[in-house]
A and B are shown apart, each in its own frame.
Chain A
Amino acid sequence: MRVNVTVNGEQRQADDVWEGESLLFMLRERLGLPGSKNACEQGECGSCTVYLDDVPVCACLVAAGQAHDRSVRTVEGLADGDRLDPVQEAFVEAGAVQCGFCTPGLVVAAHDLLNRVPSPSDPEIREALAGNLCRCTGYEKILDAVRLAASRR
């Protein structure tokens, strides 16, 4: 099938999409946007988090066809050219990035949190990021990054 989808503000088209394919596969393998990650492909890790019509979803759980005529924003669409989004900047500065495989999903999840709750408390940050696994950091510096980004908004 053919899928028409707006990705990071651009109208895109994917052909020969198989019905069972996920939005994640389409983004990564057909649209050249491998930023969203594939750590579990079963909705458990959050590494594939993207905005679908402004709501964060696990792209591995959304069928590619479901994104037809809708709008997707991925981690690749957060920075403004060379200028990182404050959340991205804070992740680098706070040392929240080690291997970085969790980072794209966490950056999108934190971005969404700060859009909804500009000055979240620690329990609110933890609750918002509870669906995003990180194996490297123990999360302390990820919390630091979100606090830092919040303080700069």
Chain B
Amino acid sequence: MTLTPAELTSAVSGGIGTSPQRPDGNLKVRGEFAYASDLWHEDMIWGATLRSPHPYARIVSVDLTEALKVPGVYAVLTHSDVPGRNQYGLEHKDQPVLAVDVVRYQGEPVALVGADHPETALRAMKKIVVAYDVLEPVVDMETAADSAPLHPGGNLVRHVPIRRGAQDLQADVVVSGRYEVGMQDQAFLGPESGLAVPAADGSVDLYIATQWLHVDRAQVASALGLPEEKVRLTLSGVGGAFGGREDLSMQVHACLLALHTGKPVKMVYNREESFYGHVHRHPAVLYYEHGADHTGKLVYVKARIYLDGGAYASSTPAVVANAATLGVGPYEVDNVTIDCYGLYTNNPPCGAMRGFGAVQAGFAYESQMDKLADALGMSPVDVRVRNAMTEGSVMPTGQVVDSAAPVAQLLKLVQDKPLPAGTSSDIRELPGGVSNTTHGEGVVRGVGYAVGIKNICFSEGYDDYSTARVRVSMVNGSLAAAVHTAACEVGQGLVTIMQQIVRTELGIERVTVLPMDTTIGNGGSTSASRQTYVTGGAVKAACAAVRSRLDGRVDIGSEVIDETVEWRHRATEALDPVTGQGNAHVQYGFAAHRAVVDVDVELGLVRVVALDCAQDVGRALNPQAVVGQIQGGSAQGLGLAVMEEIQTSGGKVRNPSFTDYLIPTVLDMPPMSIDVLELADPHAPYGIRGVGEPPTISSTPAIVAAIRAATGLALTRVPVRPEHLTGT
């Protein structure tokens, strides 16, 4: 008998559209899941990294003599020990593995120590003598382009202009503003860690927590001067990522130490080092001008956006393109003038973080929409609905949005949700909580709305694909499947999704997810909300190949059916360098939030009382995981709205700890009611739309809008601090 996939779906449980338990859930609750920091190897030693204390300095000399004398030290390495190319980077190879004659940010790696105990390594590190000639750092993104060049090509990493329609229009109502976004940290809980194990033939195995095995491997091999096949990467347990693991941290360093000493080397950052060890969200300064007619219809939007990329390029070029192309938000505007700049400075390097350029623009354009509503005497929802994009709308890039864009519907969904009861009399539910700062006096309530847009998958003509292998054989008399990719599970639940897809496509309930490693082809990055789309698409395609060989059989004897498929989404185009026109993106995702806040206006304390969200996900392959993503993304947006910022002064980080860099606790998070729309995208596998990032974009401006509604203050900067509310 031959079954169609649809018939098979009903035959097995745990397919798409259901919420089966994660395959790694049991291990995780038992404490038996092996994260990168849990790895252990016979005879292993510990690696540590000496970092620059200065944001900008020339290295005059490095003296390793005393460090090498510390008992228990196996190696102390500098740039001269890097056998291959001492430069790496995601888009521009501008970052040294170990600094040569200059350091460009505080925390830049200068030397490595390998020792028998982490404490020995720390003590040896303190004995390395580096003489620096301290230079004046460049720290202001708005003037950086005209400052002394930090790199040979100057301090402008990328400029993306958008020119659409008429460029010099008048409008009945004009609002303008200058907005700022502080530097947010991904603050994943599992610190950067890995274990490098050298082999006798000069090759190396690296067990690592990362977002992208193949691009890590290419960069590691280049730095080690090895062919790629001599560098093997296996994903170990990843304790969250959110963009912060897309760049290298200790990958090359651990391998260098391992190859140099001939011993397995483990490196684990502590929290302070983690703040220096990965890129952050770009701080931004954004100038906006919106013109509208009397009915609230947008006539034009003009914007000038600066993104501080810090000392090295990382993914700044792509972040700049996102902020520019998504810079007006999910609205129809015929006349757009945008200039977006990414700059080098001596601030910490910035790169990928959930929302990737769309977050910074989102805070500014949504603040502007509220300002416009105010100027017109319209409600914030009405002015947004008046301009809401729909399917068929044209982006500022000229790209037509060719699948569902239910912007007005999402806003209405959050607007129609019941509002929470009035300000509580339980101090645990008031701003300040059990610090007992108020019993309700001086507390004002406000409600705010926001909606956002995010591109899904990689853009601008990038060859974005994933590779999946599905193997089917008989186990104990019935068919069993195994699925193998190099796509990184970082906590989001890709392992569950892959099992669900195989169950649905093949009607096989028992599906094993094989370790993710570089013995199979590229899985692409776990970023841009793309893995369910692209790796999901690849797994689905590999299943189709297996299915045609299965040909309906439920007993294949000793045969093993093993198919590997490379799958890519439809192609995108580069942006025109002068007009910024082009079909640059694959898919757009949308989410809307309504935030309700209580503000103690005397002390400047904010409590978010409710944070409800509606999002279109095309199709919810795993409804429970979808809601989990939306809630988690909303929480990170709340963090940016009211608490999270890496504070720098003269390029130095002032708060590299969880004592001083605050992320939301369970006391800071309100209940979040989530509405999920499933308007299928005909271009995507199963109609899905990427889920992870959109909620991070609209959460922040909705909360700030609610605080403005409560206080009447302009609030043009996030995070909003108590002093912004009290004026002290």
Contacts and interface: CB of A to CB of B under 8 A. Distances in A.
A141 interface: yes
Contacts of B671: 140
Interface stretch (B322-330, B507-515, B661-669): B661-669
On chain B, which size bracket covers the interface?
35 or more
B688 to A, nearest CB: 18
B717 interface: no
On chain A, which size bracket covers the interface?
35 or more
B667 A126 contact: yes
Nearest to A76: B31
A76 B32 contact: yes
A123 B491 contact: no
A88 B29 contact: yes
Contact of A100 (B37, B242, B270, B491): B491
B631 A141 contact: yes
A98 interface: yes
Contacts of B239: 37, 39, 99-101
A98 B189 contact: no
B505 interface: no
A111 to B, nearest CB: 11
A123 to B, nearest CB: 5
Interface in A19-44: 20, 28-29, 32-42, 44
Contact of A45 (B34, B627, B636, B658): B658
Interface in B22-79: 22, 24-26, 28-35, 37-38, 40
A84 interface: yes
Choose among A35, A84, A91, A140 the residue with the greatest number of B CB atoms under 10 Å from its CB.
A140
Contact of A99 (B240, B271, B633, B657): B240
Nearest to A129: B666
Contacts of A35: 30-32
A52 interface: no
A123 B238 CA distance: 31
A119 B490 CA distance: 33
Given A98-B628, A103-B29, A42 B271 contact: yes
Interface string A115-128: 00000000101110
Interface in A123-153: 123, 125-127, 129-143
B714 interface: no
A92 B238 contact: no
Contact of A97 (B25, B270, B429): B25
Given A135-B242, A135-B663, A140 B669 contact: yes
A67 interface: no
Contacts of A134: 189, 666
Interface string A1-33: 000000000000000001010000000110011
Contacts of A130: 665-667
B492 A98 contact: yes
Interface in A40-54: 40-42, 44-45, 47
Choose among B24, B25, B238, B624 the residue with the greatest number of A CB atoms under 10 Å from its CB.
B25
A69 interface: no
Contacts of B667: 126-127, 130
Interface string B423-462: 0001011000010000000000000000000000000000
A42 B187 CA distance: 15
B631 A135 contact: no
B659 interface: yes
Interface of A: 18, 20, 28-29, 32-42, 44-45, 47, 74-76, 78-79, 84, 88-89, 91-93, 95, 97-104, 107, 123, 125-127, 129-143
Which 6 A-B pairs give the minimum distances between C-beta atoms? A35-B31, A99-B491, A101-B239, A100-B28, A138-B635, A75-B31
27 contacts: A18-B119, A20-B119, A34-B35, A37-B37, A38-B191, A39-B191, A39-B239, A41-B270, A42-B657, A44-B271, A45-B658, A75-B30, A92-B22, A92-B29, A97-B22, A98-B491, A98-B492, A99-B240, A100-B25, A100-B33, A101-B190, A102-B189, A129-B666, A133-B663, A135-B186, A136-B628, A139-B631
Given A100-B28, A126-B428, A126-B667, 13 more contacts: A20-B119, A35-B32, A38-B37, A40-B657, A42-B657, A75-B31, A97-B22, A123-B429, A135-B242, A136-B240, A137-B631, A139-B635, A139-B669
